[in-house]
C-alpha cells in the first residue's frame, strides 16, 4: 500500500466545474485505473484504520496505554492516507464529469 504523507488537495478549478454542473443532470465520466485504485485502496485503508481504532479501545480497556497509543497513531496515519486517496478520486470525478448530451 502506498502511503500519502500529504492529502491530495482538490483543485479550485475542479470544484468550480463540479458546482457548475446541474444537480439533476446525468453525468458521463471516464476514470483511469489509478482513479479507481484511489477509491478502492482508500476504502480499504479506512477499514484497516477502523480495526486499529477497535484495537486501541481494547488496549485502553485493558489499561495497556502503550498499545493504545500505538494503535491510535496507526489509525491516524491510515486515516490520513485514506483521505489522500479518496480526495484524489473525488478530484478526478469533479475534474472529468460532463453532462450527458
Q: Which three cell numbers mark 82?
A: 485514506
Q: Is residue 49 part of a domain?
A: yes
State the pLDDT confidence band at 40, using cuts at 50, 70 and 90. Answer: very high
Q: Is residue 3 part of a domain?
A: no
Residues 6+ apart with CB under 8 A from 77: 3
Per-residue confidence (pLDDT) for residue 90, from 0 to 100: 95
Q: What is the largest CA-CA distance in the chain?
A: 60
Q: Which tens digit of pLDDT belongs to each residue from 46-96?
A: 999 999 999 999 999 999 999 999 999 999 999 999 999 999 999 999 999
Q: Is residue 100 part of a domain?
A: no
Residues shown for the chain: 101
Per the structure, the count of domains in the chain is 1
Domain housing 39: 31-93
Q: Is residue 51 part of a domain?
A: yes
Mean pLDDT of the region 17-23: 93
CA 97 to the chain's CA centroid: 19
Mean pLDDT of the region 28-43: 97
Q: Is residue 12 part of a domain?
A: no
Supply the pTM of this predicted model: 0.81
Amino acid at each position: 500500500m502506498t502511503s500519502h504523507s500529504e492529502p491530495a488537495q482538490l483543485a479550485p478549478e475542479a470544484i468550480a466545474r463540479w458546482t457548475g454542473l446541474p444537480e439533476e443532470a446525468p453525468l458521463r465520466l471516464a476514470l483511469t485505473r489509478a482513479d479507481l485504485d484511489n477509491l478502492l485502496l482508500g476504502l480499504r485503508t479506512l477499514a484497516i484504520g477502523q480495526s486499529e481504532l477497535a484495537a486501541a479501545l481494547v488496549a485502553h480497556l485493558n489499561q495497556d496505554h502503550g498499545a493504545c497509543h500505538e494503535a491510535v497513531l496507526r489509525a491516524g496515519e491510515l486515516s490520513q492516507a485514506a483521505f489522500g486517496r479518496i480526495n484524489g478520486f473525488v478530484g478526478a470525478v469533479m475534474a472529468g464529469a460532463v453532462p450527458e448530451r
